[in-house]
Structure 1
Amino acid sequence: MFVLELTYTAPLDRVDAALQDHVAWLEQAYAAGHFIASGRKNPRDGGIIIAAGSDRATVEQLTADDPFVRAGVCAYRITEFTATKTAPALAEYREQLPS
């Protein structure tokens, strides 16, 4: 599983200009089963996405395809972790530690 932290690298007016395309990209990634949660950070200096069911190369390609990245308005920090515990509603995303 991955935590994708977006940090805006441009003023909010430039972020907002790419927002509609970013939301469409998010919707495609949700439909493909890559993402399970996302939202803005507070204060609004970026966002967070929780990605599951993908390998690191796939996640790196997804983030490179984000319209925010293509517009040069954000940078990603990708943190991979093993989700060994989850809320009951997220049980399908539980992972096993490597042997």
Structure 2
Amino acid sequence: MIHFCHNPRMFIVTVTYTAPLEDVDPLRPAHGDWLKDLISRRLLLVAGRQVPLIGGIYLVPDMPAEELDRMLATDPYLINGVAEHSITEFTPLLVATGLEDLKS
């Protein structure tokens, strides 16, 4: 079953590595801790690696753009200059059964 979504907007953040993987890899533990903290606070809903491994993707719930920018600026990858973020804003209209929680 499909459910209508009433959330005003969400964001897809695309992370692109700007440095070789050998420079990214030592930062993975700190980056992973950063992601886990944000997910535990529901500031990120989903995080994963791109295939092939050229970066990652985050699904972010609605928040003010300034807050999103401040949050992303704390990413250890960004702080250490090994990645950049691009943001796509979208309005979710439908969600699959079991994902109704994304509407809130």
- The structure where strand makes up a greater share of residues is 2
**2-side partners of 1:82 and 1:90: how far apart?**
15
Could you say which structure has the greater relative contact order, defined with CA pairs below 8 angstroms and 6 or more residues apart?
2
Match of 1:54 in 2: 63
Q: How many residues align?
A: 95
Q: What RMSD over aligned residues (CA atoms) do the two structures have, in Å?
A: 1.3
Match of 2:92 in 1: 83
| Residue 51 (structure 2) pairs with residue 22 (structure 1) | no
Match of 2:5 in 1: none
**1-side partners of 2:37 and 2:76: how far apart?**
12
Regions of 4+ moved over 3 Å: none
Q: Which runs of 5+ in 2 are unaligned?
A: 1-9
Match of 1:43 in 2: 52
Letter in 2 for 1:88: T
- The structure where helix makes up a greater share of residues is 1
How many percent identity over aligned positions? 33
**2-side partners of 1:17 and 1:81: how far apart?**
33
